Every structure is written in C-alpha cells, then in structure tokens.
Amino acid sequence: MMDSHFKRATILLCEHHSTGSIGFIMNKSLQMNIGDLVSDFPNFESDVHFGGPVGTDTIHFIHNLGDLIEESVQVAPGVYWGGSFDQVKFMIKSSMVTEHNIRFFVGYTGWGSGQLAEELREGTWLMAEMDPNYLFKEKPESLWRLIMEHKGNNFTAIAGIPDTTIWN
C-alpha cells in the first residue's frame, strides 16, 4: 500500500466484528517515550508507536501480562490489549514490567462495517499468523521484512525489495 500510514505496515488486528475492526500498526515508532506524553507516568524506557491515523488523541497499549492487568482482552495467544492504565503505571513503578512486556500506541487503525473484508478481497492486505515475539522481542523496523520472510515463497523475494524504488 502506498499510503504513507500503511506502506510496509504490520498491523495487529485486535477486534473484528460486523460493526467494524480495530488494529494497531506495530512497526512505526514515533521516536518518543511514553513519559513524554503522560506527565505523571513513572520513569520507563519504552518507545511510543503510531497505532494508526484514527483517534490520534488516544493512547493504547498491548502487553503480554494477561490477567495481571485487569480488564485486558486477549487478542492472540500471549497478546493482550488494554486494561487498567493505573494498574500498568503501578506495576511499572514497582519494576514488575519491562519494555519487553508492553508497547504503547498513539491512535489506532480502524475500518467500518465490511470495509476490512472488502479490502482483503481486493488484495489490499496480506494476512499472517501473529507471533507474540513480533511485538515483544523483534525490532519494529525489521518487522515487515521478517513477517514477509516467514510467509515464504514469493513473499521472501518481496521482503528483499528495497523500500525506495530508485535502489532497484
């Protein structure tokens, strides 16, 4: 996709139902820390990522802490969305959470009723299995290439094509 928001974007789909879908771009860092956005946030080294162009006045988080965070929702094996923000702050302040447990996002990616299904039929998006390591262990800047390589076949070749066409 050539749209600058979604070019080589890897999106974690968190909610998909008849009224619409919500996801977060996993590989677009904003080059800022969560403490830059939330004044009373404990000292914590964690980049904030651009989750998508919708609701850019909101902060979301994805984590691997499961039921330790009340009200979180499992979206894939070992991957949870949201929960109590105050509880997250407490756990960070208590050194119970590291940057390998949580990722913060500004905004989200959203689709209206039937929109994502139509875009999938048109071939706008490729689907891949979610591996928690993509989010919590891999470097975001290498994520698109890694996922394409894991898909195999022709996708491995596509992963090797430079982002800038003048390099081809």
35-44: pLDDT as tens digits: 999 999 999 9
The pLDDT assigned to 158 comes to 67
The pLDDT assigned to 105 comes to 98
Q: Smallest Cα–Cα separation from 25: which of 76, 60, 64, 57?
A: 60
Q: Residue 87 in 3-state DSSP? A: helix
pLDDT per residue as tens digits for the range 121-161: 998 888 888 899 899 988 888 888 888 888 777 766 666 67
Does residue 45 register a pLDDT over 60? Answer: yes
pLDDT per residue as tens digits for the range 47-102: 899 999 999 999 999 999 999 999 999 999 999 999 999 999 999 999 999 999 99
| Residue type present at position 8 | R
pLDDT confidence bin for 4, thresholds 50/70/90: confident
The pLDDT assigned to 64 comes to 97
Contact 33, 45 (CB under 8 A): yes
Instruction: Dihedral sign for Cα 118, 75, 110, 48, please.
Output: negative
Instruction: Count Cα neighbours of 58 within 13 Å in the Cβ-side half-sphere.
Output: 12
Contact 103, 136 (CB under 8 A): yes
Q: Smallest Cα–Cα separation from 15: which of 77, 68, 64, 76?
A: 76
Residue 52 burial (C-beta neighbours within 10 Å; 0-12, 13-18, 19+): buried
Does residue 118 register a pLDDT over 90? Answer: yes
Q: Would you say how long the chain is, in residues?
A: 168
The pLDDT assigned to 8 comes to 86
The pLDDT assigned to 151 comes to 77
Does residue 111 register a pLDDT over 60? Answer: yes
Does residue 11 register a pLDDT over 70? Answer: yes
Terminal CA-CA length for the chain: 18
pTM confidence score = 0.88
Residue 78 sits at φ, ψ, to 5 deg, of 80, 10
- Alpha helices, DSSP H only, in 21-77? 34-37
Tokens of 8: 């080589």
Does residue 27 register a pLDDT over 70? Answer: yes
Q: How far apart are the C-alpha atoms of 120 and 133, rounded to whole Å?
A: 25
Question: How does DSSP classify residue 135?
Answer: H
Does residue 166 register a pLDDT over 60? Answer: no
